[in-house]
Amino acid sequence: MSVIEVENITKTFATDKSKISVLENVSFSVGNDEFVCLVGPSGCGKSTLLRIIAGLEKPDSGRVLFRGQPVTKPTPKIAMVFQLFGLLPWKTALENVELPLEVIGLGKEERRKVAKEYLRMVGLEGFENTYPHDLSGGMKQRVGIARALALKPEVLLMDEPFSSLDELTAKTLRKLVLDIWRDPTLPTNTFIMVSHNVEEAVFMADRVIIMSPRPGKVVGEVKIDIPRPREKHLRDPAYFNLVDKVVEILEKSKAATEAESLMLTVNKT
Amino acid sequence: MAWLIVTFVNYPEIKNLPLYTFSTVSRIIITLLISVAWGVSFGILAATNKAASLILTPFIDLLQSIPILGYFPMVIGFLFALGPLGIELSVIVLLFTSMAWSIFFGVIGAIRGIPTNVVEPARSFGLTGWRYVRHVILPAITPAVISGANLAWCDGWFFMIAAEYIQYKGRVVTPPSGGLGSLLAMAAYEWQDINTSIILLLFITFIVVYFNTLTWHRLTEKASTGTFKPVFTVDLSGVGKIGIVRARRLLHFGRFQWPKAFSIASQRLRKYTRIEKIITIVLAFSIAFFFLYYMLGRFPTWGIIRGGFSEPPAEQLAYLPVLIAFTMGRLAIAYVISLVVAIGMGVLAAEHKRIAAVFYPLYDVGQGVPILALFPVLFLGLNQLIGVPRVALELTCIIMLVLDMIWYMFLNIVSAVKNIPTETREVGQLFGFKGLKRITHIVIPSILPSIVTGSILSWGTGWNTIIFAEYMPSTAPTIPPLSVPGLGSLLDKAGYEYGNTVLLIFLLGIVAIIVLSMEAFVWRRLLRKFEKYHVEV
């Protein structure tokens, strides 16, 4: 049964002079316990799509269903992790995690307890009273993850969560995220991640959905059937073949778009 | 220190100096608190509610561009009737009209500047309403409120002398509890005692600088600690930056289109909830009522408007183009002097670290001098030196303008020089630019946008100052007031001497037209042209 259904989403942004079509007729669904990665070149609207799923943006047409119910505004059942962490700079790590818990109406003692528990889970014990400014990028993202998970959501959306971190830190956090995904004691088990790093997507996802450049369309889908944990299989030909397959679809769609725009220019002149 | 002065100067009024100091400081603090409360609440309202913003921002933009003199008739009409308490109140109202705006616009700018990566997460877990204000908006605007309040504090001291010594129809009104501003005005105008005036001026400067270093530095430092730094790139400690922000918003809000605003407002109104609708409607009605009351109460008929144009200072309207030319000429002379000196000092500061080390502390002290308070003292000094009052006033006027205008130029240029990126400097070094070449290729282009913003601000403040600087209130009941011909002095005559409200408003309109057209035809074009030079800091 699918948890998230994206149906015919179309979105355009209006600037002063022109309209930019960002998403065109995007449809896919994500099942229970599934880890899906959206990959595509920058500016293909994948972040916008994620925001529509989160209820932060409204599509021009089409809809997003969460367990059959349309998503029109943010809900605690769908949480999000941001590329630039999105921590409030005037609140400590603990206060940052506590804030969404206050919104859903938890008492002071209760939310302190829950927030501490999740900070410990992401390995930040002892940093509860540190301000974001004094945390490293990796630690900030750990706070971001703890904040999202503390709401006990069913779906976790991640917008390029590792792209502003150095490779070593990213590697550690990828493992942390996968551990959380597989942890049977946590209710959060449907993950949708946006990335422009194909290796990362193939390493983490069950399924990679590939999007074309502007306007964003789904141009392909690759099922990743490498057994988990995948650290052991990073040298396998199967891994490289799947990476190549994704890259090939990406390049084909890029070439097609370029040819199209070239045709348009030729026609104009 | 106040007691020290008391022992050395022999005027009966000086005995009350400690009391006067206390009443002026508390007057400004009270006004500051009111301004903060007003600025924060209305700023949040205007920045978060589009309908409110469409009504509030143009209205407040209009109010802030009226020089303090424009409020005189209104304040006097409303508050003098209440006796001594009314006078105290009217001084506070006058101070408020020159202090409130920077906080309001600072709050709006700060709310609009909250980065998306703070807004989005907050929205994604459903932070709305009062919670959003408490957890996101209030912490986010704190730095802006503090720097805006600092600016307001300085504005308060600047206009204190105008607010505490009100001349109206030949009558001098000072607040019953006294004040430093009225004391200084008395010393200069009535006793004509240059030594006492200078001592008082130094005393006032000392108080302002003392508070600046004691309170404001500590507050700004507190607000700009690590917690806020990653989000707010605006440097809190540099006054020049505030100047840039101020100039930007001046231009931004100036672009407002009125008729369009009203049609949009009515469209928006339909979309809002009932409470928001009620608030907006009540607000709109009270503003409209206020205007109607004011208009009907004061000019019920066409006859009174015509009367205003035939009463005393009106006969000078025939020379209006000449008067405008005189005033513009003074402003232009002062502007050119400030421009040359400020660029020279800025370039020196850029080229020599040691000179820069001398200039930067000037920031703090210079910022504290209430320039308007210099006016009577300067005139008194020059008059004793030259002996021809008119020439002395002319000179005083231009020196005042230079002192006032150069400040904004200098602050903007220095902060621009400070912010020339190391990379740009290194590129210059790498290509071996030296001396003049270095100045023309690296330094000047880097500070061009700041020169434009500095110019906008200095002309703005210049207009405000010239209204005072062209006119010397009467020093004794028998001596008629002294003035040099110009638009500013005509305004003063209409306001102070004859209380001719109709003419006053008409002349303020002319000032507004000149200022706005200069903005549209000169400054905005220059700013757009130099935008590409702007270094993102």
DSSP secondary structure letters along B199-264: HHHHHHHHHHHHHIIIIIHHHHHHHTSTTTTTT--S-SS-HHHHHHHHHHHHHHHHT--HHHHHHH
Q: In angstroms, rounded to a whole number, what is the distance separating the alpha carbons of residues B67 and B163?
A: 12
Q: 3-state SS string over B458-486?
A: HHHHHHHHHHHHCEECCCCCCCCCEECCC
Task: Take residue B388 and report the two structure tokens written for it.
Answer: 């021809």
Identify any residues that bridge with A211 across adjacent strands, giving them in sequence order.
Answer: A218
How far B128 CA sits from the closest chain A CA (Å)?
Answer: 9
Give the count of domains, chain A.
Answer: 1
DSSP secondary structure letters along A213-245: SSSB-EEEEEE----SSGGGGTTSHHHHHHHHH
Q: Does B135 touch chain A (CB under 8 A)?
A: yes
Query: A with B: how many residue pairs have Cβ under 8 Å apart?
Result: 72
Distance separating the N- and C-terminal Cα atoms of chain A: 51
Contacts of A47 in chain B (CB under 8 A): none
Report DSSP state, residue B443: I
User: How much is the CA Rg of chain B, to the nearest whole Å?
Assistant: 24
For A218-236, how does the pLDDT look when each residue is reduced to its tens digit (9 = 90+)?
Answer: 888 888 888 888 888 888 8
Q: What is the dihedral of CA B520, B526, B529, B532, to 10 degrees?
A: -120
Whether A225 is in a domain gets the answer: yes
Identify any residues that bridge with A37 across adjacent strands, giving them in sequence order.
Answer: A193, A208
In the structure, what pLDDT confidence band is assigned to residue A213 with cuts at 50, 70 and 90? confident
Contacts of B226 in chain A (CB under 8 A): 131, 133-134
Q: Does A118 touch chain B (CB under 8 A)?
A: no
In the structure, what pLDDT confidence band is assigned to residue A143 with cuts at 50, 70 and 90? very high
Map tokens 């210099």 to a residue. B374
pTM over 0.90: no
In the structure, what pLDDT confidence band is assigned to residue A89 with cuts at 50, 70 and 90? confident
Q: Does B233 touch chain A (CB under 8 A)?
A: no
What does the pLDDT read at residue A182?
A: 85
Contact A88 B118 (CB under 8 A): yes
| ipTM of the shown complex | 0.76
Task: Please choose, from the candidates B461, B530, B532, B503, the residue with its C-alpha nearest in 3D space to the C-alpha of residue B159.
Answer: B461
Contacts of B531 by beta carbon, 8 Å cutoff, 6+ apart:
B449
Task: Please choose, from the candidates A214, A89, A177, the residue with its C-alpha nearest in 3D space to the C-alpha of residue A140.
Answer: A89
Contact A100 B228 (CB under 8 A): no
Answer whether residue A146 shows pLDDT above 70: yes
Instruction: Label residue B369 exposed, middle or buried (CB < 10 Å: 0-12, 13-18, 19+).
Output: buried
Contact B231 A89 (CB under 8 A): yes
Whether A94 is in a domain gets the answer: no
Task: Take residue B525 and report the two structure tokens written for it.
Answer: 């074009």
Percent over 70 (pLDDT), chain A: 96
Contact B121 A54 (CB under 8 A): no
DSSP secondary structure letters along A58-74: --SEEEEEETTEEP-S-
Do residues A186 and A29 touch, judged by C-beta distance below 8 A? no
**Tens digit of each residue's pLDDT, chain B (537 residues):** 555 665 556 666 677 788 888 888 888 899 999 999 999 998 888 888 777 777 777 677 666 666 666 666 666 666 666 777 778 888 888 888 878 877 887 788 788 778 888 888 888 888 888 888 888 888 888 877 887 787 788 778 877 877 787 766 666 777 777 788 888 877 777 777 777 778 888 888 788 777 777 777 677 666 655 444 433 333 333 333 334 344 433 433 333 333 333 334 444 444 444 555 566 556 665 665 565 555 555 544 555 555 656 666 666 677 778 888 888 888 899 899 988 888 888 777 766 777 767 766 666 566 666 677 777 777 778 877 877 777 888 888 888 888 878 877 777 777 777 777 777 777 767 776 767 777 777 777 777 777 877 787 778 777 777 777 777 765 555 556 677 788 778 877 776 667 666 677 777 777 777 777 777 677 777 767 776 655 443
Q: In angstroms, rounded to a whole number, what is the distance separating the alpha carbons of residues A62 and B276?
A: 31
Considering only the beta carbons, identify the residue of A51, A86, A131 that sits closest to B117.
A86
Considering only the beta carbons, identify the residue of A73, A86, A89 that sits closest to B120.
A86
Q: How many CA atoms lie within 13 A of B461 on its CB side?
A: 27
Q: What sign does the CA torsion over A151, A155, A157, A162 have?
A: positive
Phi/psi region, residue A9 (left: phi>0; alpha: psi -120 to 50; beta: rest), is beta
Whether A24 is in a domain gets the answer: yes
How far B267 CA sits from the closest chain A CA (Å)?
Answer: 20
Do residues B125 and A76 touch, judged by C-beta distance below 8 A? yes
Q: Distances in Å between the alpha carbon of B178 and those of B91, B194, B217, B401? A: 11, 20, 29, 28
Distance separating the N- and C-terminal Cα atoms of chain B: 42
Q: In angstroms, rounded to a whole number, what is the distance separating the alpha carbons of residues B407 and A258?
A: 55
Contacts of A76 in chain B (CB under 8 A): 125-126
- Closest-CA residue of A relative to B228 is A89
Whether A148 is in a domain gets the answer: no
Identify any residues that bridge with A195 across adjacent strands, giving them in sequence order.
Answer: A39
Map tokens 């946590």 to a residue. A186
The residue with greater pLDDT, A176 or B308, is A176
Report DSSP state, residue A89: T
Contacts of A192 in chain B (CB under 8 A): none
Please report which helix (H) or strand (E) contains residue A78, including its range. Answer: strand A78-81
Instruction: Label residue A136 exposed, middle or buried (CB < 10 Å: 0-12, 13-18, 19+).
Output: exposed
Contacts of B166 by beta carbon, 8 Å cutoff, 6+ apart:
B72, B76, B90, B91, B94, B172, B173, B174
How far A21 CA sits from the closest chain B CA (Å)?
Answer: 21
In the structure, what pLDDT confidence band is assigned to residue A38 with cuts at 50, 70 and 90? very high
Whether A29 is in a domain gets the answer: yes
Contacts of A90 in chain B (CB under 8 A): 139-140, 142, 227-228
Give all domains of chain B, ordered by start, each with its CATH number: 1-256 (1.10.3720.10), 299-537 (1.10.3720.10)
Contact B226 A131 (CB under 8 A): yes
Beta-strand pair A19-31/A190-195: unpaired
Q: Which domain holds residue A176?
A: 2-77+153-268
- Three-state DSSP class for A163? coil
Q: 3-state SS string over B362-411?
A: HHHHHHHCCHHHHHHHHHHHHHHHHCCHHHHHHHHHHHHHHHHHHHHHHH
How far B251 CA sits from the closest chain A CA (Å)?
Answer: 19
Whether A238 is in a domain gets the answer: yes
Q: What single-letter amino acid sits at B484?
A: V
The residue with greater pLDDT, A184 or B260, is A184
Whether A127 is in a domain gets the answer: no
* B110-129 residues touching A, CB cutoff 8 A: 117-118, 120-127
Task: Take residue A54 and report the two structure tokens written for it.
Answer: 């989160």
Q: Domain with A185 in it: what CATH number?
A: 3.40.50.300
Q: Does B229 touch chain A (CB under 8 A)?
A: yes
Helices and strands per DSSP (H, E), number in chain A: 7, 10
Answer whether residue A67 shows pLDDT above 50: yes
Please report which helix (H) or strand (E) contains residue A30, including its range. Answer: strand A19-31
Q: Distances in Å between the alpha carbon of B140 and those of A147, B45, B130, B368? A: 20, 15, 14, 27
Report the 10 Å Cβ neighbour count for A68: 9
Q: Burial code of B430-458, b = ≥16 C-beta within 10 A, e = fewer?
A: eeebeeeebbeebbbbbbbbbbbbbbbbb
Mutate to test the interface with A, among B117, B125, B141 (most CBs of A within 10 A): B125
Q: Please report the beta strands in B140-201, taking only residues with DSSP state E, as ranges in sequence order.
A: 166-168, 171-173
Map tokens 């008395």 to a residue. B186
Do residues A56 and B119 touch, judged by C-beta distance below 8 A? no
Whether A85 is in a domain gets the answer: no
Beta-strand pair A190-195/A155-159: parallel
Do residues B460 and B511 touch, judged by C-beta distance below 8 A? no
